[in-house]
Amino acid sequence: MVRITDPAAAFGIIAKADPGLRLTVRLTDETLPDQSGVYVVSGGSVRHSDTGCGPEEPDLYVTPDVLAAMMFSSNPVAAVTGLPGGRPHFSLMLD
C-alpha cells in the first residue's frame, strides 16, 4: 500500500510539471484530518483550503488510498483523472 503523506507537495510537483493542468480535488482523510480539504491545482501551483473551492464543485472526491492509486496509476486511468500516469520503478541491487 502507498500513502501520500503530503498531498500539497505531491500536487505541487504535478502542477509544476504541467502548468496547464486545472484540477480540483476534495480529499477526506480520517487518519490525518489536517490533510483533508480541497486542493486546487491551477497555473503551475496548488492551493489547499479547508473550507472549499468557492462556487465550483471539486472535479474529484477522494480518500487517501484512492489518491495514491490515482497518482501511481497506469496511463488509461490517468487519462480519466487528468493526472499524469506512471508507475514507480525501483531498482534494487542485492549482494
Q: pLDDT 10s per residue in the chain (95 long)?
A: 778 889 999 999 889 988 888 989 999 999 999 999 999 999 999 999 887 666 678 888 999 998 888 887 766 766 777 776 666 666 777 76
Residue 17: DSSP 8-state: H
- How many domains does the chain divide into? 1
Classify residue 16: in a domain, yes or no.
Answer: yes
Classify residue 34: in a domain, yes or no.
Answer: yes
* Kind plus residue range of the DSSP H or E element containing 78: helix 75-81
Classify residue 89: in a domain, yes or no.
Answer: no
Per-residue pLDDT at 39: 94
Parent domain of 11: 7-81
Classify residue 63: in a domain, yes or no.
Answer: yes
> For residue 43, is it left (φ>0), alpha (ψ between -120 and 50) or beta?
left
What is the pTM assigned to this prediction? Answer: 0.80
Classify residue 1: in a domain, yes or no.
Answer: no
Classify residue 93: in a domain, yes or no.
Answer: no
Which CATH number belongs to the domain containing residue 53 in this structure?
3.30.1050
The packing angle between helices 7-17 and 64-71, to 10°, is 30
Classify residue 2: in a domain, yes or no.
Answer: no
